[in-house]
Homo-oligomer: A and B are copies of this chain.
Amino acid sequence: MPGALLFSSRLDDPVAWSAALKAEMPELDVRVSPDLGDPADIETALVWKAPPGELASLPNLKLITNLGAGVDPILADATIPPHIPVARLGDEVMAQMMAQFVTMCVLRHYRDLGRYERQHREARWHYELPRASYDVPVGIMGIGLLGGGAARMLASIGFRVAGWGRSPRTIEGIETYHGPERLAPFLARTEILVCLLPLTRETRHIVNRDALYALPRGAKLVNCGRGGTVDEAALLTALQDGQIAEATLDVFETEPLPETHPFWRMDQVLVLPHIASIAVPEIAARDVVENIRRLHQGLPLLNIVDRARGY
């Protein structure tokens, strides 16, 4: 009999998650924050930005699962005992939803849809001949489960795609670059840059002024990874002077993006409220429950985060 699972998220639906978890493991006792009952009953936690201290208050906690791919909120919470393993969610459906979202953002920039949307509001009919997609190189920073899936989808529909990551990787049909010294050449060949990096010590503000100006003038930026990977002040300047022509931003250094932030009032920016991809309960519950079974059988846990690496 597994111990209780604590569900703690202000964004995800506890009813859908409880139903999905119980469909996979009917005997699982699911407690929804803040109704913990006896904290000593809780053995596993499924969380997105749990209130600081909540996880530290659970004396028998053996596994924390992050309700998403990016675990930076958990690793940043110093109250969580570092010996408790942290797993992240990341399944094929989540990867597909992210790839579709990135594909939508890239197509929208490639076909200048932002300009046509403005023309619609001005009741203006004006046509420009489009380029073929293979003439508009796309670059993806971060080519793990999510970024690699986005790269493959974009290549499959006709884009010339390159990917950049921390370590060497081979993806069929994708030109890959790795390491700090290959970042500038990767950026120089990229007209639409997609950022899907995890937030770690190494990636904080990796898209800084130098990186933005290593892109060709008039490049476009999509950030669906973590807000902290982009230096927002540098991006604001690059947008104002035309170095970056347009940006689609789904993540920000502070979320929700403060109402006073200039991004809201820029026509060439699309601010989105962190919607690119989610863990779909009916799918992702399988991985959560598989790890609970493994915990009880003493088997190696899946999707465990390397705290030193940060993802």
Task: Contact check, B101 vs A103: say whether CB atoms are below 8 A apart.
Answer: no
Q: Mark A266-287, 1 if CB is under 8 A from B, else 0.
A: 0001111111001010010000
Task: Contact check, B13 vs A132: say whether CB atoms are below 8 A apart.
Answer: no
A234 lies within 8 A of chain B by Cβ = no
What distance in Å separates the Cβ of A78 from its nearest Cβ neighbour in chain B? 27
**Residues of the B chain whose Cβ atoms lie less than 8 Å from the Cβ of A101:** 107, 111
Task: Contact check, B107 vs A275: say whether CB atoms are below 8 A apart.
Answer: no
Q: Mark A232-259, 1 if CB is under 8 A from B, else 0.
A: 0000000000000000000000011101
- A residues 186-232 near B (Cβ < 8 Å) are none
A100 lies within 8 A of chain B by Cβ = yes
A96 lies within 8 A of chain B by Cβ = yes
Task: Contact check, A93 vs B132: say whether CB atoms are below 8 A apart.
Answer: yes
Count of A interface residues, CB-CB < 8 Å: 49
Task: Contact check, B11 vs A127: say whether CB atoms are below 8 A apart.
Answer: yes
Nearest B-chain residue to A127, judged by Cβ: B273
**Residues of the B chain whose Cβ atoms lie less than 8 Å from the Cβ of A133:** 96-97, 100
Nearest B-chain residue to A271, judged by Cβ: B120
Q: Mark A100-116, 1 if CB is under 8 A from B, else 0.
A: 11011001101101001
A153 lies within 8 A of chain B by Cβ = yes
Task: Contact check, B274 vs A127: say whether CB atoms are below 8 A apart.
Answer: yes
A-B contact pairs, 15 of them (CB 8 A): A12-B129, A13-B129, A93-B132, A97-B130, A97-B133, A100-B107, A100-B111, A101-B111, A104-B108, A104-B111, A116-B270, A116-B272, A117-B117, A120-B264, A127-B273
**Residues of the B chain whose Cβ atoms lie less than 8 Å from the Cβ of A259:** 123
A156 lies within 8 A of chain B by Cβ = yes
**Contact A264:B117 (CB < 8 A) given known A156-B156, A157-B103, A275-B130:** no
